[in-house]
Amino acid sequence: MASKNCTKCGALVPAGSAVCPQCGNPMGQNKNNPKRKVWTTVIVVAIVVVGLCCVLILTLSKSCVKEAPSSNLDLAGIEQSDTTSVQSEINENFVQLTPEFIEAIQQYDDLSLFSEGYAAVCKDDKWGYIDKTGREVIPCKYDWANPFHEGLASVLPSYGSGFGFIDTLGREVIRHRPEIEIPGEFSEDLVVIKNEKNDRFFVLDKKGHKVFQGTYGDGNYAPYGALRMTPFVYPAYIEKFIDGKLYIPKGESGYNVYNTKGNKIKTVSDSEMEQITKRATAGQAQTFTHTLYTDKMYGGMGEIVLWGVKDANGKIIVPAEYDKASIYFEPEKIDLTNGVIPVVLIEYSGISYMGEWLGICPDDGSVEHYGYVDLKGNDTFPKGLKERCAKSRLKAIELYKAKAAAEEAEAEAARAVAETSKAVTNALGDDEAVAVADVADPWVGEDW
């Protein structure tokens, strides 16, 4: 009979014994039992399979999680695919009003809208660009600078030289030349250039090659470039490509439609163009959820208004306390992809009525202070400056009202004098008429 040694005392123990007869040590089961080997293998395989399944589930769940928006945008009703692409752009170009940023922009005389993470800034009457940290990345050396679109911006080296296009490193990608008089913005890798001398336009690609050209129709139409893309003005319509089509005004009404090769394919009415524009911007609805609003209107003819911001639900998030804001003509909505809005505070020396078109405006001695405000109501202005501007505005308004009242009183006095003079003249006229009648018939009135 087979036997084995006790693992405790070493005594020889017959096979099958439960304990050692010498020391009572349990001898255990046969570890080489084939049935035990099978079950051990099954259990190990099951554990491995369960582990792999857990890892796979965890990986899939992470890949399905979307990054939460970093700003308080109302994205209800927007398709997730559109939201994700625009949200990534927002995160990439978002401007933070850090102490370093606020300090950096104090050196500039003028600030503009951020576009694609860059903003044109002015110092000593020359324009350059800052990035989202406030660092000057392109020197202030141009007579004019427009926003970046698709990585390129139009700049004017000097008045009379014509525009050219630079990239975000400041390199001239399309050489400036006189015929580039009024540049548009790049869309779908093409840009429309307006030439005022002969009312023509031509289209360039990103290498500066002319793709095709055409003419505007007759009428009083003014191309958007005539507005010069100032920091606080944005056109209602821009000549740019939308889904491979370019819409050019053909006169007082209607648009000619061209494809990217310059072939005229059809015409559309003004109402059709309005619907096309709405559809083109619908995919960016989450970008334009906030709107500007006005409050605290002062004065009579051509009131002074202050600007603030409301969210998509009409809740005020930026109080109306700025003299100017980034205004979009139609509609008055704000591009949020950069997280800040350019605003202006005016330190008034006084205000004057400038006529029906301009209304009341700051006097020449007034000073404009440029800055930014974010969607939490934080801005780049020192508290003391804001208080000083608010006081100067109220004082200017009171002086204007007093001056207007004095002028009205003076006008009223002049009217009274005129009425008195007229009455005297009429009275003298009656007396003279009686005297003339007496001379003509001296017996009139005599009692016989």
| Model pLDDT, residue 214 | 87
Tally of helices (H runs) and strands (E runs) in the chain: 5, 26
| Model pLDDT, residue 248 | 87
Q: Would you tell me how many other CB atoms lie within 10 Å of the CB of residue 143? A: 14
Residue 253 DSSP symbol: S
What is the CB-side half-sphere exposure of residue 382 using CA atoms within 13 A? 6
Category of 251 on φ-ψ map: left (φ > 0), alpha (ψ -120 to 50) or beta? left
Q: Would you tell me how many other CB atoms lie within 10 Å of the CB of residue 329? A: 11
Residue 149: closest CA among 240, 57, 266, 67 = 240
Tell me the torsion sign for CA atoms 313, 318, 319, 325.
negative
Is 310:316 a contact under the CB 8 Å cutoff? yes
Q: How far apart are CA 219 and CA 64, in angstroms?
A: 54
Cβ neighbours of residue 71 under 8 Å, at least 6 residues apart?
90, 94, 336, 339, 375
| Model pLDDT, residue 140 | 97
Which tokens hold the place of 287? Answer: 């970008």
Q: How far, in Å, are 192, 214, 283, 363 from residue 262 at the CA level?
A: 12, 8, 26, 49
Mean pLDDT score, 390-418: 87
pLDDT reading at 121 higher than 70: yes
Q: For residue 233, what pLDDT band results from cuts at 50, 70 and 90?
A: very low
| Model pLDDT, residue 273 | 86
Residue 95 DSSP symbol: -
pLDDT reading at 162 higher than 50: yes
234 burial type by CB count under 10 A (0-12 exposed, 13-18 middle, 19+ buried): buried
- Beta strands (DSSP E) in 41-189 are 110-115, 118-123, 126-131, 136-142, 144-145, 153-156, 164-166, 172-174, 182-183
Q: What is the pLDDT of residues 29-67, one digit of tens each?
A: 444 444 455 555 656 566 766 666 665 665 555 444 333
Q: How far apart are CA 231 and CA 112, in angstroms?
A: 4
* Minimum mean pLDDT range among 3-17, 124-138, 206-220, 390-404: 3-17
Q: What is the pLDDT of residues 306-322, one digit of tens each?
A: 888 888 788 998 899 99
Is 354:362 a contact under the CB 8 Å cutoff? no
Q: Would you tell me how many other CB atoms lie within 10 Å of the CB of residue 156? A: 21
Q: For residue 227, what pLDDT band results from cuts at 50, 70 and 90?
A: very low
Q: How far, in Å, are 305, 394, 439 from residue 359 at the CA level?
A: 12, 17, 60
| Model pLDDT, residue 339 | 86
Residue 294: closest CA among 286, 285, 303 = 303
Which tokens hold the place of 115? Answer: 């576009």
Which tokens hold the place of 408? Answer: 């009205």
Q: What is the pLDDT of residues 79-111, one digit of tens each?
A: 344 444 444 555 678 899 999 999 999 999 999
